[in-house]
Amino acid sequence: MTEARVKLVLASASPRRLALLEQAGIKPDLLMPADIDETPMKRETPRRLAIRLANEKARTAQEAPLVKKLGTKTFIIAADTVVGLGRRILPKPETPEEAESCLWLLSGRSHWVYSAVTLLAPGGQSWRRCSETKVRFKRFSREDVDTYLKSGEWRGKAGGYAVQGRAESFVRTLSGSHSGVVGLPLYETIHLLHGAGYPVHYTWLTAPLSGV
């Protein structure tokens, strides 16, 4: 497999996942969002949900005509992030009421963020990893919640918050992968790509430095 012919697809429309991948010196050739049903199955745990959805996103993107057009030497990366309180799965709120409910549940408590990655490699091989990060928030005041809701930053975010934004000021402790909480655990992602034969270090030599 020659480096010049290898292609990479990111099965996501998330600007934060793209930014994280580019931060790690990797620029995908194609963004292919995968529209799937994210409804949890009965008795499904937060971790298992994250892993299943990442896998379904990758498989859905694999069947897209634009992806097939890239040829057989194509890698596909997909990810999903789920916030859990014990076995309880918190939603990705679309209304202020849903987001407010999430925030009060998380107030002053520790929760887990599961960020799963699936890699589909040329030849039909697939690999999965899931980062598990423990996050503890401060105890919220009514003003904290009301002003955060007005920001709109919570919309569509797992657990009703975006740690890369204003919500980082709520974090008392974070043990695990910060990038995983944002949406794409970089250690796991780069480890998978490198192990599967994607030319990670070649792209580091040819890609412009991020944030410099």
- So which residues are the catalytic ones? 80
Residues 102, 93 contacting (CB under 8 angstroms): yes
Distance between CA atoms of residues 146 and 138, nearest Å: 15
**What six digits make up the tokens of 14?**
């998330």
Running DSSP on this structure, what letter comes out for residue 86? T
Nearest to 167 by CA among 177, 16, 157: 157
Pairing label, strands 110-120, 7-10: unpaired
| CB burial of residue 74 (10 Å; 0-12, 13-18, 19+) | buried
**Which residues have CB under 8 Å from 50's CB, separation 6+?**
80, 81, 82, 114, 115, 116, 130
- Of 81, 27, 23, the closest CA to residue 199 belongs to 27
Encode burial over 130-152: b for 16+ CB neighbours within 10 A, e otherwise: bbbbebebeebeeebeeebbeee
